[in-house]
Structure 1
């Protein structure tokens, strides 16, 4: 971990923080985090990728971690993150990179690849597959207490999160998202009530890890994180043929709660995703949760490094 370096890059009027390891002359791999994650969630993969001869770069999005917040957090969208990624790679003089995205970063990877396919050597998504840029419909088939529906509601998550410190919010979300059931609250309870103070952390997630995440979210707060992705998911892009023929890998934990989203398992196992990404390999990690890259780092590291070496 001490070999990972930190720097700031000025992008689109903001100062973005990024972590980096590996030679600047090596092929670049850019890691994009989900929620409630941050650059730190890729710590195991960054070290493995650098050891395999690649340059690992992991930014914090605008409004996350140590990066500047957007000027109007309530108007931020996924397209801002895509624009930041393009500008960041230009600033680093990287014409072509591998992209690795976790959770909602799969949307960032999907849109970026559709818009800038010539800049992508290949991509890996973890926990969420490639998705064409259309508003999701799964929340229409789930109860009112579905966590995304609650977090899309202005003010509700702010009040819910605001009862706790940032570290406790991250703790609760890590515990919830490590299970195989979709987090759904009853009518008279909030999402944070789904986890009790006595509930243990996942066995692979240490108090030191929690303290690191807690400090970073203490710095950034949750304003931008609630806006992007949860309140900006209804993005529509006019892309006639949302198909990409670059090399791709999807890593899913067999116990990932996302597989229980209506239609998700069929989209992946039934092969629909391959109509958009024909060169896609899909790997399911037994016992893997939504945080499979932190839970089973050796297995994920091997999958990622083999993919990079095969398609470099």
Structure 2
């Protein structure tokens, strides 16, 4: 970890925190989800750098050590695309392979739609191709205590999270969201109430990891994270005929709770997702959960490096 270098680049008037390891013309840019941060990619960054790639992971605006936008409530998924392009431009990178996890999958696919000349391949974990918009997450097909529905309600997650310190919030989410069940609260509960304090951290997630995450979210808080992705996932950004033509890989754990979203399993297993991403390979990991890249890093690293070696230009 000591060999990972840290710097800042300016994008849209904001300083974004960038972590980087490796060198050379073959570039991989890692895009985090929530409650993740650049650190979520530590295992993959080192592995691909050892293979001869330049590995870059940055904190999206409003996350971790990156600056907060002045008016976060006006942001949507377009700003994440702007962040990716801005980082590439700032580092004088013409083209990269993008690797996205959780909501990081959205910009991982949006960038090659909007800027196809900048991307030579896409890998996503846990979330397949989806466009932001009314049909992205079918809240109406899940109980009203569905975590995304709860977090979309202004002030509700803020009050829920605010009962705990940041470290406890991260611990609770990592533990809850490692399960295969979709997090759904009862009428008399909030999402944080679903966590049993006696539950240990997952074996692949150490106290040191938890401290690293907490220190970054103590800097940024959760204000922007609740806006993007949760409060804007159903906001259309104006793309009408999406097609991702670059080579792509989608990896999903069989025990990832997202697989239990309404229609999700059929969308992936039937190959319907390939109408949007025709050059897509799909791999399921039997024991994998939503954090499969941290849970089973050697397996994910192997899949990732195989893809990179095949498709890097």
TM-score clears 0.5: yes
| Equivalence for 1:242 | 242
Q: Secondary structure at the match of 1:31?
A: strand
2:103 is aligned with 1:104: yes
Contact 1:255 1:286 in 2 (8 A): yes
Deviations 1:3-25 (A, max 9, x none): 100001111100000100001x2
> TM-score scaled to structure 2, two decimals?
0.98
> Distance in 1 between the 2:74 and 2:237 partners?
17
* Rounded Cα–Cα distance in structure 2 between residues aligned with 1:70 and 1:154: 18
Q: Is there any run of 5+ residues in structure 1 with no aligned partner, and where?
A: none
Contact conserved, 1:147 with 1:183, CA < 8 A, in 2?
Answer: yes
Aligned length: 311
Residues 1:280 and 2:259 aligned together: no
Separation in structure 1 between the aligned mates of residue 137 and residue 287 of structure 2, nearest angstrom: 27
In the other structure, the counterpart of 1:164 is 164
Matched-pair contact (CA < 8 Å) for 1:26–1:53: no
8 A contact 1:102–1:127 mirrored in 2: yes
| Structure 1 residue 88, shift from structure 2 partner | 1.3
SS where residue 66 of structure 1 aligns? coil
Map of 2:304 onto structure 1: 304
The CA deviation at 1:215 is 0.8
Cα distance, 1:130 vs structure 2: 1.3
Q: CA deviation at 1:237?
A: 3.4
1-structure distance, mates of 2:14, 2:133: 28
CA 238–63 in structure 1, closer or farther in 2 if over 3 Å, else same: closer
- Name the counterpart of 1:125: 124
- Render the CA deviation track for 1:91-131: whole Å, top value 9, x for unaligned: 11111100000001111112112101111000000000011
What TM-score, normalized to structure 1?
Answer: 0.98
Q: Superposed, which structure 2 residues align to 1:167-246 within 5 Å?
A: 167-246=167-246
Q: CA deviation at 1:241?
A: 2.2
SS of aligned partner of 2:97 = strand
Other structure's SS at 1:29 match: strand
Whole-Å separation in 2 of the counterparts to 1:16 and 1:173: 25
1:65 aligns with 2:93: no
Q: Deviations over 1:130-152 (max 9, x none)?
A: 11343224211000100000000
The Cα offsets for residues 6-55 of structure 1, whole Å up to 9 and x where unpaired, read as 001111100000100001x2311000000000000000000000011100
Corresponding position of 1:292:
292
Deviation string 1:248-303 (CA, Å, 9 cap, x unpaired) is 00010110000000000011001110111110001111110000000000000000
**Mapped contact 2:27–2:97 kept (Cα < 8 A):** yes
Helix, strand or coil at the partner of 1:16: strand
Q: What is the aligned partner in structure 2 of residue 21 from structure 1?
A: 21
Which stretch of structure 1 is more off in the superposition, 109-118 or 168-177?
A: 109-118
User: Larger deviation: 167-176 or 103-112?
Assistant: 103-112
Q: Distance in 1 between matches of 2:14 and 2:49?
A: 27
Matches of 2:253 and 2:30 in 1, distance apart? 18
Aligned counterparts of 2:73 and 2:165: Cα–Cα separation in 1 = 21
Query: How far has the Cα of 1:235 moved from its partner?
Result: 2.3
SS in 2 for 1:198: coil
DSSP 3-state at the match of 1:104: helix
